[in-house]
Structure 1
Amino acid sequence: MSPRDDTATGLRLYDRTAVGAAASVIRAYSTSFSLATRLLGPRPRPHVRNVYALVRVADEIVDGPAEEAGLDAAARGAVLDALEQETRDAVARGFSANLVVHAFALTARECGIDESLTGPFFASMRTDLTATAHDDSSHDAYVYGSAEVVGLMCLAVFENAGRRRPTPPPAELVAGARALGRAFQDVNFLRDLDHDAGALGRDYLGVDGTRRTRDDVLDRIDDDLALAAGMIPELPSDCRRAVTAAHDLFAALSEKLRHDRGTERVSVPARQKAALAARAWWGAEPRGSRR
Protein backbone atom coordinates (compact mmCIF):
# COMPACT_ATOMS: atom_id res chain seq x y z
CA MET A 1 0.00 0.00 0.00
CA SER A 2 1.41 3.37 -1.02
CA PRO A 3 3.04 5.54 1.65
CA ARG A 4 1.35 8.77 2.60
CA ASP A 5 1.62 11.50 -0.01
CA ASP A 6 0.26 14.89 1.03
CA THR A 7 0.08 15.94 -2.64
CA ALA A 8 -2.07 12.96 -3.65
CA THR A 9 -5.18 13.67 -5.69
CA GLY A 10 -7.88 11.68 -7.42
CA LEU A 11 -7.95 7.93 -6.82
CA ARG A 12 -4.76 7.94 -4.78
CA LEU A 13 -6.24 10.48 -2.37
CA TYR A 14 -9.49 8.46 -2.23
CA ASP A 15 -7.55 5.26 -1.48
CA ARG A 16 -5.64 6.98 1.30
CA THR A 17 -8.83 8.43 2.77
CA ALA A 18 -10.51 5.01 2.72
CA VAL A 19 -7.56 3.41 4.52
CA GLY A 20 -7.70 6.20 7.12
CA ALA A 21 -11.43 5.58 7.62
CA ALA A 22 -10.79 1.88 8.25
CA ALA A 23 -8.10 2.73 10.80
CA SER A 24 -10.48 5.09 12.62
CA VAL A 25 -13.06 2.30 12.95
CA ILE A 26 -10.54 0.07 14.69
CA ARG A 27 -9.31 2.82 17.00
CA ALA A 28 -12.88 3.55 18.08
CA TYR A 29 -13.95 -0.05 18.68
CA SER A 30 -11.01 -2.00 20.07
CA THR A 31 -8.12 -0.74 22.16
CA SER A 32 -6.62 -4.23 22.37
CA PHE A 33 -6.72 -4.79 18.63
CA SER A 34 -5.47 -1.28 17.95
CA LEU A 35 -2.51 -1.99 20.24
CA ALA A 36 -1.74 -5.27 18.47
CA THR A 37 -1.82 -3.71 15.00
CA ARG A 38 0.76 -1.14 16.09
CA LEU A 39 3.16 -4.06 16.50
CA LEU A 40 2.74 -4.97 12.83
CA GLY A 41 5.24 -3.68 10.31
CA PRO A 42 4.13 -0.93 7.90
CA ARG A 43 3.70 -3.46 5.08
CA PRO A 44 0.82 -5.50 6.59
CA ARG A 45 -0.56 -2.98 9.12
CA PRO A 46 -3.03 -0.99 6.97
CA HIS A 47 -4.29 -4.13 5.27
CA VAL A 48 -5.13 -5.85 8.56
CA ARG A 49 -6.99 -2.73 9.67
CA ASN A 50 -8.92 -2.76 6.39
CA VAL A 51 -10.01 -6.36 6.99
CA TYR A 52 -11.10 -5.77 10.56
CA ALA A 53 -12.99 -2.57 9.74
CA LEU A 54 -15.26 -4.45 7.34
CA VAL A 55 -15.71 -7.24 9.89
CA ARG A 56 -16.65 -4.68 12.54
CA VAL A 57 -19.19 -2.92 10.36
CA ALA A 58 -20.86 -6.21 9.43
CA ASP A 59 -21.07 -7.18 13.10
CA GLU A 60 -22.65 -3.83 13.97
CA ILE A 61 -25.35 -4.44 11.36
CA VAL A 62 -26.29 -7.73 12.99
CA ASP A 63 -26.15 -6.55 16.61
CA GLY A 64 -26.17 -3.20 18.32
CA PRO A 65 -26.50 0.04 16.34
CA ALA A 66 -28.71 -1.26 13.52
CA GLU A 67 -31.15 -2.76 16.00
CA GLU A 68 -31.03 0.37 18.16
CA ALA A 69 -31.88 2.38 15.05
CA GLY A 70 -35.12 0.42 14.82
CA LEU A 71 -34.25 -2.15 12.14
CA ASP A 72 -35.90 -5.51 12.66
CA ALA A 73 -34.19 -8.78 11.71
CA ALA A 74 -35.48 -8.67 8.13
CA ALA A 75 -34.28 -5.10 7.62
CA ARG A 76 -30.88 -5.89 9.11
CA GLY A 77 -30.64 -8.88 6.83
CA ALA A 78 -31.32 -6.66 3.83
CA VAL A 79 -28.60 -4.21 4.91
CA LEU A 80 -26.16 -7.09 5.44
CA ASP A 81 -27.02 -8.51 2.01
CA ALA A 82 -26.36 -5.10 0.46
CA LEU A 83 -23.00 -4.85 2.23
CA GLU A 84 -22.00 -8.30 0.98
CA GLN A 85 -23.02 -7.40 -2.58
CA GLU A 86 -21.15 -4.09 -2.41
CA THR A 87 -18.06 -5.92 -1.10
CA ARG A 88 -18.26 -8.46 -3.92
CA ASP A 89 -18.69 -5.73 -6.53
CA ALA A 90 -15.91 -3.56 -5.08
CA VAL A 91 -13.40 -6.41 -5.12
CA ALA A 92 -14.29 -7.06 -8.75
CA ARG A 93 -14.20 -3.46 -9.97
CA GLY A 94 -11.73 -1.83 -7.56
CA PHE A 95 -13.98 0.94 -6.26
CA SER A 96 -16.74 1.55 -3.73
CA ALA A 97 -18.58 4.65 -2.55
CA ASN A 98 -18.43 3.06 0.93
CA LEU A 99 -14.99 3.98 2.30
CA VAL A 100 -14.65 0.91 4.52
CA VAL A 101 -15.62 -1.40 1.66
CA HIS A 102 -13.24 0.43 -0.67
CA ALA A 103 -10.39 -0.05 1.80
CA PHE A 104 -11.19 -3.76 2.12
CA ALA A 105 -11.31 -4.12 -1.67
CA LEU A 106 -7.83 -2.59 -1.96
CA THR A 107 -6.54 -5.25 0.41
CA ALA A 108 -8.52 -8.11 -1.13
CA ARG A 109 -7.26 -7.35 -4.63
CA GLU A 110 -3.63 -7.02 -3.54
CA CYS A 111 -3.54 -9.98 -1.18
CA GLY A 112 -5.75 -12.54 -2.92
CA ILE A 113 -8.81 -12.48 -0.64
CA ASP A 114 -11.82 -13.71 -2.57
CA GLU A 115 -15.38 -14.93 -2.14
CA SER A 116 -14.19 -18.27 -0.76
CA LEU A 117 -13.44 -16.30 2.43
CA THR A 118 -15.93 -13.42 2.32
CA GLY A 119 -18.86 -15.74 1.51
CA PRO A 120 -18.56 -17.86 4.70
CA PHE A 121 -18.01 -14.70 6.75
CA PHE A 122 -21.25 -13.08 5.64
CA ALA A 123 -23.07 -16.41 5.99
CA SER A 124 -22.08 -16.59 9.66
CA MET A 125 -23.11 -12.98 10.24
CA ARG A 126 -26.49 -13.80 8.67
CA THR A 127 -26.88 -16.76 11.04
CA ASP A 128 -27.00 -14.37 14.00
CA LEU A 129 -30.24 -12.91 12.66
CA THR A 130 -32.12 -16.20 13.09
CA ALA A 131 -30.24 -18.84 15.12
CA THR A 132 -30.45 -18.83 18.90
CA ALA A 133 -28.87 -22.17 19.87
CA HIS A 134 -26.05 -24.06 18.18
CA ASP A 135 -25.21 -27.74 18.14
CA ASP A 136 -21.67 -28.97 17.49
CA SER A 137 -22.07 -28.83 13.71
CA SER A 138 -23.59 -25.34 13.53
CA HIS A 139 -21.07 -24.04 16.11
CA ASP A 140 -18.18 -25.24 13.95
CA ALA A 141 -19.70 -23.75 10.80
CA TYR A 142 -20.38 -20.46 12.56
CA VAL A 143 -16.87 -20.24 14.01
CA TYR A 144 -15.32 -21.05 10.65
CA GLY A 145 -17.17 -18.19 8.97
CA SER A 146 -17.00 -15.66 11.78
CA ALA A 147 -13.42 -16.21 12.96
CA GLU A 148 -11.34 -18.79 11.08
CA VAL A 149 -11.78 -17.08 7.71
CA VAL A 150 -10.83 -13.75 9.30
CA GLY A 151 -7.60 -15.41 10.41
CA LEU A 152 -7.15 -16.66 6.85
CA MET A 153 -7.71 -13.15 5.48
CA CYS A 154 -5.01 -11.86 7.82
CA LEU A 155 -2.72 -14.69 6.77
CA ALA A 156 -3.26 -13.72 3.11
CA VAL A 157 -2.15 -10.20 4.10
CA PHE A 158 0.90 -11.47 5.97
CA GLU A 159 1.99 -13.57 3.02
CA ASN A 160 1.04 -11.35 0.08
CA ALA A 161 0.99 -7.64 1.00
CA GLY A 162 3.43 -5.88 -1.29
CA ARG A 163 3.79 -8.80 -3.70
CA ARG A 164 3.15 -8.34 -7.37
CA ARG A 165 1.02 -11.48 -7.49
CA PRO A 166 -0.58 -13.23 -4.47
CA THR A 167 0.14 -16.89 -3.81
CA PRO A 168 -1.63 -19.38 -1.50
CA PRO A 169 -0.04 -19.64 1.97
CA PRO A 170 1.51 -22.94 3.17
CA ALA A 171 -0.86 -25.53 4.62
CA GLU A 172 0.75 -25.43 8.08
CA LEU A 173 0.20 -21.68 8.34
CA VAL A 174 -3.41 -22.13 7.23
CA ALA A 175 -3.91 -24.63 10.07
CA GLY A 176 -2.36 -22.21 12.58
CA ALA A 177 -4.45 -19.26 11.40
CA ARG A 178 -7.65 -21.26 11.66
CA ALA A 179 -6.74 -22.53 15.14
CA LEU A 180 -6.00 -19.03 16.39
CA GLY A 181 -9.30 -17.75 15.00
CA ARG A 182 -11.19 -20.59 16.70
CA ALA A 183 -9.48 -19.88 20.02
CA PHE A 184 -10.24 -16.17 19.83
CA GLN A 185 -13.91 -16.79 19.08
CA ASP A 186 -14.46 -19.41 21.76
CA VAL A 187 -12.74 -17.22 24.36
CA ASN A 188 -15.13 -14.42 23.45
CA PHE A 189 -18.10 -16.79 23.62
CA LEU A 190 -17.10 -17.77 27.16
CA ARG A 191 -16.49 -14.17 28.18
CA ASP A 192 -19.93 -13.17 26.86
CA LEU A 193 -21.82 -16.28 27.96
CA ASP A 194 -24.25 -14.48 30.28
CA HIS A 195 -24.76 -11.51 27.94
CA ASP A 196 -25.38 -13.71 24.90
CA ALA A 197 -27.92 -15.80 26.81
CA GLY A 198 -29.64 -12.94 28.64
CA ALA A 199 -29.59 -10.05 26.18
CA LEU A 200 -29.48 -11.88 22.84
CA GLY A 201 -31.02 -15.25 23.68
CA ARG A 202 -28.11 -17.10 22.05
CA ASP A 203 -26.17 -20.19 23.05
CA TYR A 204 -23.05 -20.79 20.98
CA LEU A 205 -21.30 -23.36 23.18
CA GLY A 206 -23.88 -25.60 24.83
CA VAL A 207 -22.13 -25.28 28.19
CA ASP A 208 -24.77 -26.90 30.35
CA GLY A 209 -22.88 -29.71 32.07
CA THR A 210 -24.43 -32.39 29.85
CA ARG A 211 -23.10 -31.68 26.37
CA ARG A 212 -19.89 -30.06 27.60
CA THR A 213 -18.47 -28.06 30.51
CA ARG A 214 -16.53 -24.81 30.64
CA ASP A 215 -13.37 -26.83 31.17
CA ASP A 216 -14.09 -28.82 28.01
CA VAL A 217 -14.26 -25.58 26.04
CA LEU A 218 -11.14 -24.21 27.71
CA ASP A 219 -9.23 -27.41 26.97
CA ARG A 220 -10.16 -27.01 23.30
CA ILE A 221 -9.13 -23.34 23.37
CA ASP A 222 -5.76 -24.17 24.89
CA ASP A 223 -5.16 -26.91 22.33
CA ASP A 224 -5.87 -24.41 19.55
CA LEU A 225 -3.60 -21.81 21.14
CA ALA A 226 -0.82 -24.38 21.39
CA LEU A 227 -1.22 -25.32 17.73
CA ALA A 228 -1.15 -21.66 16.70
CA ALA A 229 1.88 -20.94 18.89
CA GLY A 230 3.89 -23.49 16.94
CA MET A 231 3.12 -21.77 13.64
CA ILE A 232 3.75 -18.13 14.63
CA PRO A 233 7.58 -18.33 14.27
CA GLU A 234 7.00 -19.33 10.61
CA LEU A 235 5.20 -16.07 9.81
CA PRO A 236 6.99 -13.17 8.08
CA SER A 237 9.12 -11.27 10.58
CA ASP A 238 7.06 -8.06 10.36
CA CYS A 239 3.95 -9.94 11.53
CA ARG A 240 5.23 -12.15 14.36
CA ARG A 241 5.24 -9.54 17.14
CA ALA A 242 1.60 -8.56 16.66
CA VAL A 243 0.35 -12.14 16.36
CA THR A 244 2.39 -13.16 19.40
CA ALA A 245 0.89 -10.31 21.43
CA ALA A 246 -2.65 -11.25 20.37
CA HIS A 247 -2.01 -14.94 21.04
CA ASP A 248 -0.61 -14.24 24.50
CA LEU A 249 -3.49 -11.90 25.36
CA PHE A 250 -6.02 -14.62 24.63
CA ALA A 251 -3.91 -17.20 26.46
CA ALA A 252 -4.10 -14.89 29.50
CA LEU A 253 -7.86 -14.57 29.07
CA SER A 254 -8.18 -18.35 28.84
CA GLU A 255 -6.25 -18.71 32.08
CA LYS A 256 -8.46 -16.12 33.80
CA LEU A 257 -11.61 -17.86 32.56
CA ARG A 258 -10.36 -21.15 33.98
CA HIS A 259 -9.92 -19.67 37.46
CA ASP A 260 -12.64 -17.00 37.54
CA ARG A 261 -16.14 -18.48 37.69
CA GLY A 262 -17.94 -15.21 38.42
CA THR A 263 -20.52 -13.50 36.25
CA GLU A 264 -18.43 -10.43 35.40
CA ARG A 265 -16.86 -10.34 31.94
CA VAL A 266 -13.19 -11.18 32.44
CA SER A 267 -10.52 -8.89 31.05
CA VAL A 268 -6.77 -8.46 31.15
CA PRO A 269 -5.63 -5.37 33.08
CA ALA A 270 -4.02 -2.59 31.05
CA ARG A 271 -0.67 -3.10 32.78
CA GLN A 272 -0.62 -6.79 31.87
CA LYS A 273 -1.60 -5.99 28.27
CA ALA A 274 1.30 -3.58 28.06
CA ALA A 275 3.67 -6.20 29.48
CA LEU A 276 2.49 -8.77 26.93
CA ALA A 277 2.97 -6.27 24.12
CA ALA A 278 6.45 -5.39 25.36
CA ARG A 279 7.36 -9.06 25.61
CA ALA A 280 6.24 -9.60 22.03
CA TRP A 281 8.04 -6.45 20.86
CA TRP A 282 11.35 -7.81 22.16
CA GLY A 283 10.88 -10.96 20.10
CA ALA A 284 9.79 -13.46 22.74
CA GLU A 285 8.29 -16.72 21.52
CA PRO A 286 4.52 -17.04 21.97
CA ARG A 287 3.60 -18.66 25.23
CA GLY A 288 2.38 -22.24 25.17
CA SER A 289 -1.09 -22.89 26.49
CA ARG A 290 -1.31 -23.46 30.24
CA ARG A 291 -3.82 -25.66 32.08
Structure 2
Amino acid sequence: MDALNLYHQTTLACSKLITQKYSTSFSLGIRVMDQKLHSPIYGIYGFVRFADEIVDTFHHKDKKYLLDKFREDTYEAIDQKISMNPVLHAFQIVVHQYGIEKELIDAFLDSMAMDLDFSLYNDSKYKQYIYGSAEVVGLMCLKVFCEGNQEEYEQLKLPACKLGSAFQKVNFLRDIKSDYEERGRVYFPEVDYKNFNRTKKKEIEEDIQKDFDDAYEGIKRLPVGAKIGVKIAYLYYLNLFRKIKKLEPETITLRRVRIPNIKKLSLLLSIYFGSKLGLEE
Protein backbone atom coordinates (compact mmCIF):
# COMPACT_ATOMS: atom_id res chain seq x y z
CA MET A 1 0.00 0.00 0.00
CA ASP A 2 1.44 3.37 -0.98
CA ALA A 3 1.61 6.29 1.47
CA LEU A 4 -1.48 8.10 0.12
CA ASN A 5 -3.67 5.00 0.28
CA LEU A 6 -2.38 4.35 3.78
CA TYR A 7 -3.56 7.83 4.79
CA HIS A 8 -6.96 7.27 3.16
CA GLN A 9 -7.44 3.96 4.95
CA THR A 10 -6.25 5.35 8.28
CA THR A 11 -8.76 8.21 8.19
CA LEU A 12 -11.59 5.82 7.29
CA ALA A 13 -10.50 3.60 10.19
CA CYS A 14 -10.87 6.63 12.49
CA SER A 15 -14.50 7.01 11.40
CA LYS A 16 -15.04 3.31 12.00
CA LEU A 17 -13.73 3.70 15.55
CA ILE A 18 -16.04 6.68 16.14
CA THR A 19 -19.04 4.63 15.00
CA GLN A 20 -18.12 1.72 17.24
CA LYS A 21 -17.63 3.98 20.27
CA TYR A 22 -20.85 5.93 19.82
CA SER A 23 -23.39 3.41 18.48
CA THR A 24 -23.64 -0.32 19.13
CA SER A 25 -26.74 -0.69 16.99
CA PHE A 26 -25.43 1.11 13.91
CA SER A 27 -22.05 -0.62 14.22
CA LEU A 28 -23.63 -4.06 14.04
CA GLY A 29 -25.92 -2.94 11.23
CA ILE A 30 -22.93 -1.79 9.19
CA ARG A 31 -20.92 -4.94 9.92
CA VAL A 32 -23.52 -7.19 8.29
CA MET A 33 -23.63 -5.11 5.10
CA ASP A 34 -21.54 -6.00 2.08
CA GLN A 35 -17.89 -5.34 2.92
CA LYS A 36 -17.55 -2.69 0.21
CA LEU A 37 -20.18 -0.53 1.97
CA HIS A 38 -18.48 -0.48 5.37
CA SER A 39 -15.90 2.27 4.93
CA PRO A 40 -18.16 4.80 3.16
CA ILE A 41 -20.95 4.41 5.73
CA TYR A 42 -18.43 4.76 8.56
CA GLY A 43 -17.17 7.89 6.79
CA ILE A 44 -20.65 9.41 6.79
CA TYR A 45 -21.38 8.46 10.40
CA GLY A 46 -18.09 9.92 11.67
CA PHE A 47 -18.86 13.22 9.98
CA VAL A 48 -22.42 13.59 11.28
CA ARG A 49 -21.51 12.31 14.75
CA PHE A 50 -18.79 14.89 15.31
CA ALA A 51 -20.92 17.76 14.00
CA ASP A 52 -23.66 16.70 16.41
CA GLU A 53 -21.16 16.57 19.27
CA ILE A 54 -20.29 20.22 18.72
CA VAL A 55 -23.84 21.39 19.44
CA ASP A 56 -24.75 18.78 22.06
CA THR A 57 -21.65 18.32 24.19
CA PHE A 58 -19.20 21.21 24.32
CA HIS A 59 -21.26 23.53 26.52
CA HIS A 60 -18.19 25.33 27.90
CA LYS A 61 -16.92 26.25 24.43
CA ASP A 62 -18.01 28.71 21.75
CA LYS A 63 -20.23 26.31 19.82
CA LYS A 64 -21.02 28.73 17.02
CA TYR A 65 -17.32 29.26 16.33
CA LEU A 66 -16.66 25.51 16.41
CA LEU A 67 -19.55 24.72 14.08
CA ASP A 68 -18.67 27.53 11.66
CA LYS A 69 -15.08 26.29 11.58
CA PHE A 70 -16.26 22.71 11.07
CA ARG A 71 -18.40 23.85 8.12
CA GLU A 72 -15.54 25.85 6.61
CA ASP A 73 -13.12 22.95 7.05
CA THR A 74 -15.65 20.53 5.54
CA TYR A 75 -15.93 22.48 2.30
CA GLU A 76 -12.22 23.09 2.14
CA ALA A 77 -11.66 19.34 2.48
CA ILE A 78 -14.16 18.67 -0.31
CA ASP A 79 -12.71 21.36 -2.59
CA GLN A 80 -9.08 20.39 -2.01
CA LYS A 81 -9.78 16.63 -1.73
CA ILE A 82 -7.66 16.46 1.39
CA SER A 83 -7.80 17.35 5.07
CA MET A 84 -5.53 16.76 8.02
CA ASN A 85 -8.70 16.28 10.06
CA PRO A 86 -9.17 12.50 9.59
CA VAL A 87 -12.97 12.66 9.93
CA LEU A 88 -13.26 15.31 7.22
CA HIS A 89 -10.75 13.58 4.98
CA ALA A 90 -12.70 10.33 5.19
CA PHE A 91 -15.95 12.18 4.50
CA GLN A 92 -14.63 13.99 1.43
CA ILE A 93 -13.54 10.63 -0.01
CA VAL A 94 -17.14 9.41 0.28
CA VAL A 95 -18.57 12.67 -1.09
CA HIS A 96 -16.49 12.42 -4.26
CA GLN A 97 -16.77 8.67 -4.74
CA TYR A 98 -20.57 8.56 -4.45
CA GLY A 99 -21.58 12.01 -5.69
CA ILE A 100 -23.12 13.32 -2.48
CA GLU A 101 -24.62 16.70 -3.33
CA LYS A 102 -23.71 19.92 -1.55
CA GLU A 103 -27.42 20.50 -0.88
CA LEU A 104 -27.50 17.48 1.44
CA ILE A 105 -24.40 18.62 3.31
CA ASP A 106 -25.74 22.20 3.59
CA ALA A 107 -29.08 20.98 4.94
CA PHE A 108 -27.36 18.83 7.54
CA LEU A 109 -25.04 21.58 8.78
CA ASP A 110 -27.91 24.09 8.77
CA SER A 111 -29.90 21.80 11.06
CA MET A 112 -26.93 21.58 13.43
CA ALA A 113 -26.82 25.39 13.48
CA MET A 114 -30.52 25.45 14.40
CA ASP A 115 -29.64 23.73 17.67
CA LEU A 116 -27.63 26.82 18.61
CA ASP A 117 -30.57 29.20 18.15
CA PHE A 118 -33.87 27.37 18.64
CA SER A 119 -35.30 26.00 21.88
CA LEU A 120 -38.97 25.68 20.87
CA TYR A 121 -39.80 24.41 17.40
CA ASN A 122 -42.92 25.28 15.41
CA ASP A 123 -44.16 22.89 12.73
CA SER A 124 -42.12 24.46 9.94
CA LYS A 125 -38.86 24.51 11.89
CA TYR A 126 -39.52 20.97 13.16
CA LYS A 127 -39.85 19.63 9.62
CA GLN A 128 -36.79 21.57 8.49
CA TYR A 129 -34.75 20.25 11.39
CA ILE A 130 -35.77 16.62 10.82
CA TYR A 131 -35.00 16.89 7.12
CA GLY A 132 -31.53 18.31 7.75
CA SER A 133 -30.54 16.30 10.80
CA ALA A 134 -31.90 12.89 9.80
CA GLU A 135 -33.50 12.56 6.38
CA VAL A 136 -30.47 13.83 4.46
CA VAL A 137 -28.24 11.42 6.39
CA GLY A 138 -30.45 8.62 5.08
CA LEU A 139 -30.06 10.06 1.58
CA MET A 140 -26.27 10.19 1.91
CA CYS A 141 -26.27 6.53 2.89
CA LEU A 142 -28.66 5.73 0.04
CA LYS A 143 -26.17 7.28 -2.38
CA VAL A 144 -23.67 4.69 -1.18
CA PHE A 145 -26.14 1.81 -1.31
CA CYS A 146 -27.21 2.59 -4.89
CA GLU A 147 -23.60 2.93 -6.10
CA GLY A 148 -24.36 5.40 -8.88
CA ASN A 149 -27.72 3.96 -9.97
CA GLN A 150 -29.64 7.25 -10.07
CA GLU A 151 -32.94 5.66 -11.08
CA GLU A 152 -32.83 3.35 -8.07
CA TYR A 153 -31.86 6.26 -5.84
CA GLU A 154 -34.82 8.35 -6.98
CA GLN A 155 -37.21 5.46 -6.37
CA LEU A 156 -35.93 4.94 -2.81
CA LYS A 157 -35.50 8.57 -1.73
CA LEU A 158 -38.87 8.95 0.00
CA PRO A 159 -38.66 5.78 2.13
CA ALA A 160 -35.03 6.63 3.01
CA CYS A 161 -36.23 10.01 4.29
CA LYS A 162 -39.03 8.33 6.24
CA LEU A 163 -36.57 5.98 7.91
CA GLY A 164 -34.33 8.83 9.00
CA SER A 165 -37.38 10.72 10.22
CA ALA A 166 -38.61 7.74 12.27
CA PHE A 167 -35.21 7.26 13.91
CA GLN A 168 -34.92 10.95 14.79
CA LYS A 169 -38.42 11.20 16.27
CA VAL A 170 -37.79 8.10 18.40
CA ASN A 171 -34.60 9.78 19.60
CA PHE A 172 -36.62 12.90 20.47
CA LEU A 173 -39.02 10.84 22.60
CA ARG A 174 -36.22 8.86 24.22
CA ASP A 175 -34.19 11.98 24.99
CA ILE A 176 -37.02 14.38 25.80
CA LYS A 177 -35.80 14.79 29.38
CA SER A 178 -32.13 15.50 28.58
CA ASP A 179 -32.97 17.72 25.60
CA TYR A 180 -35.13 19.92 27.83
CA GLU A 181 -33.12 19.88 31.06
CA GLU A 182 -29.59 19.94 29.63
CA ARG A 183 -30.06 21.84 26.38
CA GLY A 184 -33.31 23.76 26.83
CA ARG A 185 -34.86 22.21 23.70
CA VAL A 186 -38.32 20.89 22.93
CA TYR A 187 -38.42 19.58 19.38
CA PHE A 188 -42.04 18.48 19.10
CA PRO A 189 -44.29 21.39 18.05
CA GLU A 190 -46.96 22.50 20.53
CA VAL A 191 -45.56 20.30 23.31
CA ASP A 192 -45.39 21.73 26.82
CA TYR A 193 -42.69 19.61 28.44
CA LYS A 194 -44.01 20.21 31.95
CA ASN A 195 -47.51 19.17 30.90
CA PHE A 196 -46.70 16.40 28.42
CA ASN A 197 -49.82 14.20 28.29
CA ARG A 198 -51.15 10.96 26.79
CA THR A 199 -53.03 12.70 24.01
CA LYS A 200 -49.94 14.46 22.69
CA LYS A 201 -47.77 11.39 23.16
CA LYS A 202 -50.24 9.25 21.19
CA GLU A 203 -50.39 11.83 18.40
CA ILE A 204 -46.59 11.79 18.12
CA GLU A 205 -46.51 7.99 18.20
CA GLU A 206 -49.03 7.69 15.37
CA ASP A 207 -46.88 10.00 13.24
CA ILE A 208 -43.77 7.92 13.99
CA GLN A 209 -45.55 4.65 13.20
CA LYS A 210 -46.52 5.98 9.78
CA ASP A 211 -42.87 6.85 9.12
CA PHE A 212 -41.83 3.32 10.10
CA ASP A 213 -44.49 1.79 7.84
CA ASP A 214 -43.52 3.92 4.85
CA ALA A 215 -39.82 3.27 5.43
CA TYR A 216 -40.24 -0.50 5.46
CA GLU A 217 -41.60 -0.50 1.93
CA GLY A 218 -38.29 0.96 0.82
CA ILE A 219 -36.17 -1.42 2.89
CA LYS A 220 -37.70 -4.35 1.03
CA ARG A 221 -36.41 -2.85 -2.24
CA LEU A 222 -32.89 -1.96 -1.11
CA PRO A 223 -29.89 -3.51 -2.86
CA VAL A 224 -29.06 -6.89 -1.32
CA GLY A 225 -25.73 -5.76 0.13
CA ALA A 226 -27.39 -3.10 2.29
CA LYS A 227 -30.76 -4.67 3.11
CA ILE A 228 -30.00 -6.76 6.22
CA GLY A 229 -27.90 -4.05 7.85
CA VAL A 230 -30.59 -1.39 7.36
CA LYS A 231 -33.23 -3.84 8.52
CA ILE A 232 -31.32 -4.46 11.75
CA ALA A 233 -31.23 -0.72 12.49
CA TYR A 234 -34.93 -0.46 11.57
CA LEU A 235 -36.00 -3.33 13.84
CA TYR A 236 -33.82 -2.15 16.71
CA TYR A 237 -35.42 1.30 16.61
CA LEU A 238 -38.87 -0.23 16.18
CA ASN A 239 -38.34 -2.29 19.34
CA LEU A 240 -37.15 0.80 21.21
CA PHE A 241 -40.21 2.67 19.96
CA ARG A 242 -42.53 -0.10 21.15
CA LYS A 243 -40.93 0.06 24.59
CA ILE A 244 -41.48 3.82 24.73
CA LYS A 245 -45.11 3.43 23.64
CA LYS A 246 -45.83 1.28 26.70
CA LEU A 247 -44.67 4.00 29.09
CA GLU A 248 -46.67 6.85 30.56
CA PRO A 249 -45.71 10.40 29.47
CA GLU A 250 -44.45 11.26 32.96
CA THR A 251 -42.09 8.28 32.86
CA ILE A 252 -40.18 9.45 29.80
CA THR A 253 -39.98 12.99 31.21
CA LEU A 254 -38.36 11.57 34.36
CA ARG A 255 -35.80 9.19 32.85
CA ARG A 256 -34.17 8.29 29.56
CA VAL A 257 -35.49 5.07 28.11
CA ARG A 258 -32.67 2.58 27.68
CA ILE A 259 -32.17 -0.94 26.43
CA PRO A 260 -29.34 -2.50 28.53
CA ASN A 261 -26.26 -3.40 26.48
CA ILE A 262 -26.58 -7.14 27.06
CA LYS A 263 -30.23 -7.07 26.01
CA LYS A 264 -29.37 -4.80 23.09
CA LEU A 265 -26.74 -7.24 21.85
CA SER A 266 -29.12 -10.19 22.25
CA LEU A 267 -31.84 -8.30 20.39
CA LEU A 268 -29.53 -7.27 17.57
CA LEU A 269 -28.17 -10.80 17.15
CA SER A 270 -31.66 -12.31 17.12
CA ILE A 271 -32.69 -9.77 14.48
CA TYR A 272 -29.62 -10.59 12.40
CA PHE A 273 -30.04 -14.35 12.48
CA GLY A 274 -33.80 -14.06 12.05
CA SER A 275 -33.26 -11.95 8.95
CA LYS A 276 -30.66 -14.33 7.54
CA LEU A 277 -33.00 -17.28 8.02
CA GLY A 278 -36.01 -15.43 6.63
CA LEU A 279 -37.81 -15.45 9.97
CA GLU A 280 -38.43 -11.68 10.08
CA GLU A 281 -41.03 -10.00 7.92
TM-score (ref. length: structure 1):
0.87
Residue segments in structure 1 that go unaligned for 5+ positions in a row: 1-7, 287-291
1:265 equivalent to 2:256? Answer yes
Distance in 2 between the 1:51 and 1:280 partners? 25
Contact persistence 1:233–1:285 (CA under 8 A): no
- Counterparts of 1:81-230 in structure 2, within 5 Å, are 81-160=68-147, 167=150, 169-205=152-188, 206-208=190-192, 213-230=200-217
Report matched runs for 1:13-32 at 5 Å: 13-32=6-25
- Whole-angstrom CA distance in 2 between matches of 1:144 and 1:168: 21
Partners of 1:98 and 1:281 in 2: how far apart?
38
Point out the more displaced range, 166-175 or 150-159. Answer: 166-175
Q: 1:230 to 1:85 in 2, by over 3 A?
A: same
The CA RMSD over aligned residues, in Å, is 1.8
**Percent of aligned pairs with the same residue?**
33
Change in CA separation of 1:126 and 1:284 when aligned onto 2, cut-off 3 Å? farther
Q: For each residue in 1:29-63, what CA deviation from the matched residue of structure 2 results, as whole angstroms up to 9, or x when unmatched?
A: 11111111111111111111100100011011111
Q: Tell me the distance in 2 between the aligned counterparts of 1:89 and 1:169.
A: 30
Q: Is the 8 A contact 1:59 1:125 kept in 2?
A: yes
1:277 to 268, 272, 280: 272
CA contact under 8 A between 1:183 and 1:224: conserved in structure 2? yes
Moved more, 274-283 or 129-138: 274-283
Match of 1:9 in 2: 2
The code of the aligned residue for 1:279 comes to G
Query: How far off its partner does 1:176 sit?
Result: 0.5
Contact 1:112 / 1:167 at 8 angstroms: preserved in 2? no
- Alpha-carbon distance between aligned partners in 2 of 1:176 and 1:285, rounded to the nearest angstrom: 19
Taking a change above 3 Å as real, the CA distance of residues 284 and 157 of structure 1, as seen in their structure-2 partners, is farther
Change (3 A) 1:214 1:243: same
* Residues 16-95 of structure 1 aligned to structure 2 (within 5 Å): 16-64=9-57, 66-67=58-59, 70-71=60-61, 75-95=62-82
Q: Residues 12-43 of structure 1: CA distance to partner in whole angstroms, max 9, x if unpaired?
A: 11001011111011111111111111111111
AA of the residue aligned to 1:124: S
Aligned length: 269
In 1: Cα distance, 2:276 partner to 2:15 partner: 24
The alpha-carbon deviation at position 175 of structure 1 amounts to: 0.3
CA distance in 2, matches of 1:55, 1:9: 29
Provide the residue aligned with 2:222 in structure 1.
235
Compute the displacement of 1:201 (Å): 0.9
Cα deviation for residue 236 of structure 1 reads 0.7
- In the TM superposition, residue 169 of structure 1 has moved relative to its aligned partner by 4.2
Whichever residue aligns with residue 138 of structure 1, its letter is K
Contact 2:271/2:280 (8 A) holds in 1: no
Whether the 8 Å contact between 1:148 and 1:182 is mirrored in structure 2 is: yes
Q: Which one-letter code corresponds to 2:274 in the other structure?
A: R
Dislocated runs of 4+, deviation >6 Å: none
Match of 2:158, SS? helix
Alpha-carbon distance change, 284 to 144 in structure 1, aligned in 2, over 3 angstroms? farther
CA 1:167/1:91 → structure 2, altered by over 3 Å: closer, same or farther? farther
Equivalent pair of 1:48/1:154 in contact (CA under 8 Å)? yes
More helix per residue: 1 or 2?
Answer: 2
Which blocks of at least 5 consecutive residues in structure 2 are unaligned? none
